Amino acid sequence: MGRIPDYFGVSAFGIKMGVIVPGTDLIAMVCESLSNVMKDGFLDDGDTICITESVVARAQNNFVTVEDIALEVRNKMGIKLDSKIGVLFPILSRNRFSLIMKGLAAAVPEGEVLVQLSFPADEVGNQILPYDYAEELGKTNGDTISLDEIGPNRFKHPITGVDYIDLYENLIRNEGSKPHIILNNDPLAIGEFGLDGIIVASIHSRERSRKKLELRGYNCITLQDICNQGPGSWSEWGLLGSNLSSANKLKLAPREADQLADQVQARVRAEIGKNIQVIVYGDGAYCDPSTGIYELADPKPALGMTRGLRGKYREGLKYKYLVDKMLDEGLEIDKIELSLQAQKAQKFSKDSMETEGTTPRKVEDLIASLADLVSGSADAATPLIIVKGFINGIA
């Protein structure tokens, strides 16, 4: 295969690997794959190696059951089997939230679960109502919309066709608890129902909602507080970033992913002689323009990384602006090319015209999102991604 020619820009390639199961020595497996890549002259200093979080968590055997979730919720919140709990702003997802809902309901099998959904969509863009429906009802963000007001012909998810209100009600009922679902965009509205505890189930807005509720004295935790400590399976992200594994089992996000990234980096340097960076990636930060669904159901795109990537931003010149400017000034093409090369070596402030329109973005977010797009949410059997030409010379 050989080395990629210098005239190629940023490139990303999926690397096929064997089946990874609990107990697999993933670091050894990754290094073996990279050794083969090296033999073909395809691994360089400055490459970024991206490992999908799914195989990291599986190799760690990082699974919990519905019963594990229920027990931890009761213990951490000091609630009883017949308590009344609230679940605030869960996303609408069978893969991401159905088993979490089941576990929360199992914590109070003789009690009640009140679920407050945001409208017209959850925080990642999954719709629960048509966009203008609340306005037609005369409702504002602080108003509650009841299921009676919505009526029997409820809106179904535009892609999956699932009625998530029906799904979540049935999950709660099947655990013996009584479901009560409302729609309201004010996180404080859930506190009006005399609850024994509230679980903030949103991903990206969780701390803002938790703070508002705690300031008013409510017994409140977030998904990150559940299954976030050992012994047994755990992740510092708790239930955030977890995925459906089986009918009764959930795969957590990987734990201590920074350490794994450092270990891969060190072993590649020692055994293969290349200085690479490593990211453990989850969902890419991508918004589908057709549906408006924001795909980031993980707490962040990069769940772990080597230190060489942390805190770095991708910045650059506004080439289109500079070329047009120099053309207007009458410069010839060869002089434009020389000027561009010279300006690349200069430092410009973030508000200068030379960088106008090139918003600095975290390197970790961009690379993790690129890796996720290459591997694909449907899984292309390439849990290892090599990104070339994005960063160089970082040891």
pLDDT in tens, 45-91: 999 999 999 999 999 999 999 999 999 999 999 999 999 999 999 99
Angle between the 319-328 and 333-344 helix axes, to the nearest 10 degrees?
140
> Residue 352: its pLDDT value, please?
46
Among 228, 230, 236, smallest CA distance to 256 is for: 236
Q: Which residue has the tokens 């990754």?
A: 30
Which pair of structure tokens corresponds to residue 213?
Answer: 């509720």
- Residue 170 pLDDT greater than 70, yes or no: yes
Q: Which residue has the tokens 């992200």?
A: 237
CA distance 34 to 276: 11
DSSP assignment string, 38-52: HHTT---TT-EEEEE
> Diameter of the chain by CA atoms?
80
Mean pLDDT (the chain, rounded): 89
> Residue 353: its pLDDT value, please?
45
Question: 326: how many CB neighbours lie within 10 A of its CB?
Answer: 17
Among 306, 246, 283, 239, smallest CA distance to 371 is for: 283
At 395, the pLDDT band (50, 70, 90 cuts) reads: very low
pLDDT digits over 319-354, tens only?
Answer: 676 777 778 777 777 777 676 666 665 554 554 444
Q: Which range in 131-135, 199-203, 229-233, 388-392 is most confidently predicted, on average pLDDT?
A: 199-203
> Residue 158: its pLDDT value, please?
83
Sheet containing 243-244: which strands, arranged edge to edge? 63-65, 249-251, 243-244
